[in-house]
């Protein structure tokens, strides 16, 4: 068996050609050995996840081997391991992780896409199993992305920024000067909503929890472009819309919390407005008054990015990813993250699980 092809150029000397292998050698082209985060059963992530060596994988004719550069630990990744997310990889020996950025390591001899060793790629739509050092998947899984942005942004561009962009575009036709309202505003989706709305000339009204450091959180959101930021208790008044000042009543609201935080969005929405729910961090239900339906004619919708991406929208998804990374490159889209070496996976997982208090999003650096 021939040894694995090891093309690992630096960024400065990145190769710009694709090796052409004869058909007779295709069967012997394998990935390097890899380390992966595996689990055999669902349960608490800190109990069921393990880091383990995995053997080389054959590329085949149209396979592409990539070396992972970075991958985030998203709440949905945790939920998949726990077994509570609607779509999960098959067990046993499931590899955790769903999005990330990689560098092309080698390509099969019949690959037709313009992919060369050294190129940055992401799985688009996202694909199970990104928490491992090397991955082999068919060529159509991979989307080439620009390599002049910080690696953590390329690793996280799909799930959160794309959710924010789709919600701003898919439910209400907004025009410059319109306003949206959201809870969970300090989340990465919330931060992206603020910045993407600003690019489009849309005003944002943002709701955050009452907690120590709320004034500092308000200032950070305003630096991103937020027009107004309120704590939940500030909105606990009879004439809540008087707090908006010159801002228009919002036509669209985004709810990722539920409970009272969702009710506050409904109070602020204008006649005929729409609230989109994309999460439920408080684990409390959305409660709607009868008058909200009868007298305000409000609409309640839901958004799940994975369903949208699975509905034959792969090319549209890739176009939007390129747009979002362009904004990152221009300095118009940013959010707080922490890169942690893959060798310190247990520490990154503990931070993502909240064992060390409030922490930035954890991104594994391979």
Over residues 162-197, the pLDDT tens digits come to 999 999 999 999 999 999 999 999 999 999 999 999
pLDDT at 361: 96
pLDDT at 315: 87
Q: Which two tokens stand for residue 287?
A: 């409660």
**What long-range pairs does 304-308 form, CB within 8 A, spacing at least 24?**
304/278, 305/159, 305/162, 305/163, 305/166, 305/278, 306/87, 306/125, 306/126, 308/166, 308/170
Low-confidence ranges of the chain (pLDDT < 70): 1-28, 311
- The answer to whether the beta carbons of residues 271 and 248 sit under 8 Å apart is no
Closest listed residue to residue 84, CA positions, set 34, 53, 116, 44: 44
The domain made up of 34-156+335-365 has a fold known as Quinone Oxidoreductase; Chain A, domain 1 (3.90.180)
The burial class, CB within 10 Å (0-12 / 13-18 / 19+), for 272 is exposed
DSSP-derived 3-state class of residue 61: coil
CA distance 73 to 363: 6
- The answer to whether the beta carbons of residues 218 and 224 sit under 8 Å apart is no
Q: Give 194's contacts (C-beta < 8 A, 6+ positions apart).
A: 185, 204, 206, 221, 224, 225, 226
pLDDT at 311: 64
pLDDT at 28: 61
Active-site positions read 85
Map tokens 């939007």 to a residue.
320
Q: What angle do CA 315, 333, 185 make, to 5 degrees?
A: 105
Map tokens 């694909």 to a residue.
127
Closest listed residue to residue 252, CA positions, set 202, 294, 213, 218: 202
Map tokens 């090319």 to a residue.
315
b/e sequence 3-26, b meaning 16+ C-beta within 10 Å: ebbebeeeeeebeeebeebeeeeb
pLDDT at 358: 86
pLDDT at 17: 41
pLDDT at 115: 97
Query: pLDDT digits over 96-151, tens only?
Result: 999 999 999 999 999 999 999 999 999 998 989 999 999 999 999 999 999 999 99
Percent of the chain at pLDDT > 70 equals: 92
Q: What are phi and psi of 166, to 5 degrees?
A: -65, -40
Diameter of the chain measured on Cα atoms? 76
pTM of the model: 0.89
pLDDT at 232: 96
- The answer to whether the beta carbons of residues 162 and 130 sit under 8 Å apart is no
- The answer to whether the beta carbons of residues 89 and 77 sit under 8 Å apart is no
Work out the number of other CB atoms within 10 angstroms of the CB of residue 93: 12
Domain positions in the chain? 34-156+335-365, 163-306
pLDDT at 241: 86
Q: Which CATH number fits domain 163-306: 3.40.190.10, 3.20.20.70, 3.40.50.720, 3.20.20.80?
A: 3.40.50.720
- What is the DSSP annotation of 172-204? S---TT-EEEESSTTSHHHHHHHHHHHHTT-EE
pLDDT at 180: 98
């Amino acid at each position: 068996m021939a040894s694995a092809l090891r093309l690992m150029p630096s960024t400065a000397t990145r190769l710009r050609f694709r090796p052409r292998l004869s058909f007779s050698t295709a069967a012997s082209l394998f990935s390097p050995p890899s380390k992966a985060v595996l689990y055999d059963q669902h349960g608490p992530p800190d109990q069921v996840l393990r880091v383990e060596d995995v053997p080389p994988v054959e590329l085949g004719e149209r396979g592409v081997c990539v070396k992972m550069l970075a991958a985030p630990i998203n709440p949905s990744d945790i939920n998949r391991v726990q077994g509570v997310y609607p779509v999960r990889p098959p067990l046993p020996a499931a590899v955790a992780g769903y999005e990330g950025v990689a560098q092309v390591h080698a390509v099969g001899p019949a690959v037709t896409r313009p992919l060369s060793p050294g190129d940055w790629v992401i799985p688009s739509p996202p694909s199970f199993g990104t928490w491992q050092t090397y991955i082999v998947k068919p060529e159509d899984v991979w989307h080439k992305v620009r390599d002049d942005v910080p690696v953590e942004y390329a690793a996280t561009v799909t799930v959160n920024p794309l959710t924010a962009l789709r919600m701003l575009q898919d439910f209400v036709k907004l025009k410059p000067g319109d306003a949206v309202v959201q809870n969970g505003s300090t989340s990465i989706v919330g931060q992206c909503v603020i910045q993407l709305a600003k690019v489009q000339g849309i005003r944002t009204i943002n709701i955050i929890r009452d907690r120590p450091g709320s004034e500092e959180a308000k200032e950070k959101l305003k630096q991103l472009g937020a027009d107004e930021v309120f704590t939940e208790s500030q909105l606990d008044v009879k004439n809540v819309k008087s707090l908006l000042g010159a801002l228009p009543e919002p036509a669209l609201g985004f709810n990722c919390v539920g409970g009272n935080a969702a009710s506050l969005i409904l109070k602020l929405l204008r006649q005929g407005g729409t609230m989109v729910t994309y999460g439920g961090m408080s684990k409390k239900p959305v409660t709607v008054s009868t008058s909200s339906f009868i007298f305000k004619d409000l609409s309640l919708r839901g958004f799940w990015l994975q369903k949208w991406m699975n509905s034959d929208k792969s090319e549209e998804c890739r176009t939007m990813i390129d747009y979002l990374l362009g904004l990152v490159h221009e300095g118009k889209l940013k959010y707080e993250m922490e890169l942690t070496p893959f060798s310190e996976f247990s520490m990154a997982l503990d931070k993502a699980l909240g064992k060390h208090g409030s922490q930035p999003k954890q991104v594994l650096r391979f």
